[in-house]
Structure 1
C-alpha cells in the first residue's frame, strides 16, 4: 500500500469511527449487538479495510469488543464498569471545573445557547436530542479548561456511558430537575464560582449514576 493509499484509508477510518460512534451513542446499535463489517462497508460506502481499522480503534476505546472467531459487537457494560466510570468522572470533572477561567460574556452566551437547546429538546419530549445536547452543554464548559488531555478522557468516559442514559430522561420530573440544575450551573459560571459549580456537578452526576445503577441491577436480576 502506498503512502497516499494509507492516508486515504486513515481518513476513511476516521469518518467511520465517528459514524459508528454515533450509531452506538444514539442506540441504533445496541449493547451486545454484532457489528457486521460487510453491512457497515455497504452503509458507509467504503471498503472493509477502513471498517476494520475503525473497529480496532473503537475496541481500544472500550465502545466495541472483539471475540476471536466470532467478530465485533457493541460492548455491553456491567455495573462494575459504571462504578469505575463514575468514580473517574467525579475525580476528573472536579479538576476540570476547578481549572476553568472566568468566562467571557460571549463564552457564557454560548453555554446558555446549548442549555436552551437541551430545554427545547426536553419540551419536545425528544430524549435522544436531549441526551446529545446535554453532552454538548457540558463540554462547552469543560473545553474551556486548559487540561485538554483530561477533557479528552472525560469525553471518552461520557461516550461509554451515553447508550445507557436514555431511560433516565424519560421521567418528566427528571427532565425538569436536569434543566433546573443546568440553570444553576450557568449562574455559578456567571458568578465565577467554580467551587459552587463543582458542588452542582456532583449533585447532577449522582442523578444519572443512581438511575443507571438501578437499571443495570434490574437487568442483571432479570438475566439471572
Structure 2
C-alpha cells in the first residue's frame, strides 16, 4: 500500500517563499534575508537555505557573495525570451500527447475552478487553478525532462504573470482560451490544440509586457 509522503521542511519553505514572490510580498530586485525568512516561517535557517538554493537554481532568485540573495528582475525582453522557450518546449509536449487517453472530465473540473475564481480579487486561487489546468494536460506527455524545464520557466515568470490577472477582461480571456483548448482535446485535434495554446500563451505574453511598460517592476 503506497503512502503520500509529507513534504520536508525545505519543501514547505520553498512553497511559502514562492507564494511570497508570486503575491508581490517579495518584489523583483528585493533582497531576501535568510534570518528574517526563518523567523517568519518559524523554522531554522537550514530548510530556508535549501529552499533559497533551489530557487536560485530555477532562476527565480539571484545570488552574489557580497549581497546575498535577491529576487530576480526581468525586463520585457527577458520575459519575451522566456515565452519563446516555453512555446518551443510546450509545443513538443503537446504534440507528444495521446489525446485519446486524456481525462477530459477532469480537465473540465479544473477549468470550472479557474472560472469560479474569476470574480475574486485574490490572485493565488486563480493562478493555482490555471497552472493545474495546463500541467495536468502536460502530464500526459512522456517527455518528463522537457516538462521539468517548462515547470522551471513558469516559476521564473510567476510574479510577472500575476500582474495581469486582476483585470476582469484578462481573466475572462483565460477561460475562453481554456475552452478552445478543451474543445481541441475533445476533438483529439493536436494541430488545433497547439494553435489554441500558442494564441493563449501569446496573449498572456502581450498583456504582461504591456503592464511592464506601464511602470511595473523591472
Counterpart Cα distance in 2 of 1:181 and 1:15: 32
Any idea what SS the aligned residue of 2:213 has? Answer: helix
Q: Are 1:21 and 2:15 an aligned pair?
A: no
Considering fraction of residues, name the structure with more helix.
1
CA–CA distance in structure 1, aligned partners of residues 50 and 162 of structure 2: 29
Residue number in structure 2 paired with 1:184: 180
Give ranges in structure 2 of 5+ residues lacking alignment: 1-6
TM-score by length of 2: 0.89
Task: Quote the Cα distance in structure 2 between the aligned partners of 1:99 and 1:33.
Answer: 39
The answer as to 2:215 corresponding to 1:207 is no
Partner of 1:85: 82
The CA RMSD over aligned residues, in Å, is 2.1
| 1:125 Cα offset (Å) | 4.2
Larger relative contact order (Cα-Cα within 8 Å, sequence gap ≥ 6):
2
TM-score (norm 1): 0.86
State which structure, 1 or 2, has the greater radius of gyration over its C-alpha atoms. Answer: 1
For 1:129-144, list aligned pairs within 5 A. Answer: 129-144=125-140
Q: Give the whole-Å Cα distance in 2 for the aligned partners of 1:60 and 1:184.
A: 35
Alignment of 1:46-57 (within 5 A): 46-57=43-54
Change (3 A) 1:125 1:37: closer
Following TM superposition, by how much is the alpha carbon of 1:127 offset from its aligned partner in structure 2, in angstroms?
3.2
Gaps of 5+ in 1: 1-9
Q: Match for residue 143 of structure 2?
A: 147
